[in-house]
Chain A
Amino acid sequence: MTHATEPDKSRQGRPAGGPSMAGTVLPLAGLALLALVPLGAPGMQLLVNLALAKGLAVAGVSVLLRAGQVSFGHALYFAVAAYAGAFLMTALPGADLALVLLAGLLGAVVAGVCVGLFVVRYRGIFFGMLNLAFSMIFWSFLEKFYHITGGADGIRLPRPAVLGMDLDRASFELVLFYLTLTLVLGLGWATIRWLASPAGQIFQTLKTNETRLEYLGVSPRRALLWGYLVSAALCGIGGALMGVTQGVVTPEYAWWIRSGEMVFIAVLGGAGSVRGAFVGALIYELVRTYASAYAGDVWQMLLGGFLLVIILFAPRGVIGMIETLAHRGEARK
């Protein structure tokens, strides 16, 4: 199972040396290719931007999968961050983009601490469902307390300034695109490193043996809380970016379908793989954009069916397939 579920550790098998094909070269090439999108395919720029923002949130869900936990409510952090950004823009019109993202991150982490302290007492079914319950609570708060949250219409999130400059729409979107790409690279790298670090490895032992963890002198709950905060922070940054990109935040951000979508993409990309989260998000958004015109009515059904197929027949997801191919290619060389 080690290599099946933890592709980022695939490096261990080989002697420490050059970067691996699947682990480093391919992701960097992919990011370089994406960087060309605004020049080569400007029509796809917005789509890729949204997909990458969602990918950050999915990476958060993937982190939890590494500890064997699934959350059906992580849209909560996505929404909390987006609304935090929107509230900030309402309170301080013309605030800087960095400030908006920071507000989103802060909101997600604070919410992560509050909910996390409660849910880390549970595993498995309870962990998944309690997260769902908390996201439903926040969703109904957004819907019902409309004098604060704008109800179902949500809140507009006007274009923030960038480093003190008010940009026109096109340049702002370009800045946002490259900022998102940079964040994907930076946060993706940091998350992979953290997962390989002592603290990250301790977090992942929750999947197999908490008794031993306790007998190593570590509190399993505290280990889970750290990972939970990492995942909430990733979801938060993703949500804040999404809010800024779309220019409006609505309760739909916290809706269970969003959470389900994140779990779906995480499993599609490769359960627990950070790289897979982004690959999965890109595939998902592309397919959805072009397929929903034909299959809008049965979209959830297709997703559900596909999810079953992956779980039952390809549990390592897309990234697993890429890795298998890459390893085969390297072996041939």
Chain B
Amino acid sequence: MTPTLFLLALFDGIAYAALVFIVALGLTLIFGVMRILNIAHGSLYAIGAYATVSLSGWALAMGLAPILAFPLMLVSAVLVGLLLGGPIEWLLLRRIYDKPEVLQLLVTFAVFMILEDVQRLVWGTRPYFEATALQALGNVTVLGVTYTVYQLILLPAVAAALLLGMRFFLRHTIIGKLILATTEDREAAQSIGIDADKVFLFTFIVGAALAGLGGALASPTTSILPGMGADMIVLSFAVVATAGLGQIEGAALCALMIGLGRSFAVYVWPEAATLVPYAIMVAVLSVRPQGLFGSSSARKI
């Protein structure tokens, strides 16, 4: 492996890890607070990407400046959170918090099936490619390797900002503290007047918006086609499970590990590239079943 290829693999890995982390952050936040694994999270990611492409395509057609692609990404993410995340929590999940885990999984799986077809109905099966945002920021040359600013600087910066922002939000803001309190003990939280329903709704909307944001940010770097949601839910679950469910900082590290593993495999053994994330997950879980940063709790008897 030449130094150039090494750097390319490194940059690919970092850019990819940043995207996966953003999606996984939403997944692990929702799980941490609500104890629900949202299988439809992958669809929200895909819809975020589709929405961004549609919106920025429309903006370009109207003759607006390409730089508008960035605020439109945020708009897409917020739309995914509010228009999809909100109703999903409010109409469906709210009915099943006291049901067995398997039933909860089945419900989010059903939502996943529905949303996969929604994408097909709205956007068809034709792949989309819309790289305006990628081109708008130009390239940068590092150690003789030219790479896009978007992937090398913007994506990791957004991921890092979200990581730090989420930490700050949960620990130092009132809403964040309410969320943490509800996570610790829902009944106790309700007894001191916290509206757990609102906390759950808010958390789910934020989590869904993060999935949408991941898709929005991914849209300029990849072609958007049916099935991307299924890949992403399994991949982000791999990240979240490797870290330990509900572990935010751990998810960042594992996203990096899995992203780099995958990108190096692309250069070394391309056929196996898609297998690497799972290989890492299985290896970690074989040694630490609760994930790298998760803690096991013995049942009280």
Contacts and interface: CB of A to CB of B under 8 A. Distances in A.
Q: A–B direct touch, CB within 8 Å, in complex? A: yes
Interface of A: 65, 68-70, 72, 118, 121-122, 124-126, 128-130, 132-134, 136-137, 140-141, 144-145, 211, 256, 260, 263-264, 267, 297-301, 303-305, 307-308, 311-312
A303 B286 CA distance: 35
B230 interface: yes
Contact of B234 (A70, A136, A267): A136
Contact of B37 (A125, A300, A308): A125
A133 B230 CA distance: 11
Interface stretch (B3-11, B97-105, B164-172): B97-105
A278 B153 CA distance: 55
Interface in B30-67: 37, 39
A263 B106 contact: yes
A118 B279 CA distance: 13
Interface stretch (B108-116, B136-144, B180-188): B108-116
A299 B114 CA distance: 9
Contacts of A68: 100, 102
B117 A297 contact: yes
Contact of A311 (B101, B107, B118, B278): B107
B301 to A, nearest CB: 6
B238 interface: yes
A299 B100 contact: no
Interface in B187-233: 230-231
B289 A121 contact: yes
B113 A304 contact: yes
A50 B252 CA distance: 45
Given A70-B102, A297-B121, A303 B275 contact: no
Contacts, number: 104
Contacts of A140: 274-275
Contact of B241 (A126, A297, A305, A308): A126
Interface string B265-301: 0000001101100100110011001000000000101
Given A68-B100, A132-B234, 13 more contacts: A68-B102, A72-B105, A133-B234, A133-B278, A136-B231, A140-B275, A141-B275, A211-B301, A267-B106, A297-B117, A301-B118, A303-B110, A311-B103
A125 B240 CA distance: 12
A260 B40 CA distance: 13
Contact of B121 (A137, A263, A267, A298): A298
A145 B273 CA distance: 11
Which 6 pairs from chain A and chain B are nearest by CB?
A304-B113, A304-B114, A301-B117, A307-B110, A124-B101, A304-B110
A307 B112 contact: no
Contact of A137 (B100, B112, B113, B278): B278
Given A118-B282, A129-B37, A211-B299, A69 B102 contact: yes
B265 to A, nearest CB: 11
A307 B113 contact: yes
B120 interface: yes
Contacts of B120: 297
B113 A70 contact: no
A263 to B, nearest CB: 7
10 contacts: A125-B105, A133-B234, A136-B278, A144-B272, A145-B271, A256-B234, A297-B121, A298-B121, A304-B111, A307-B110
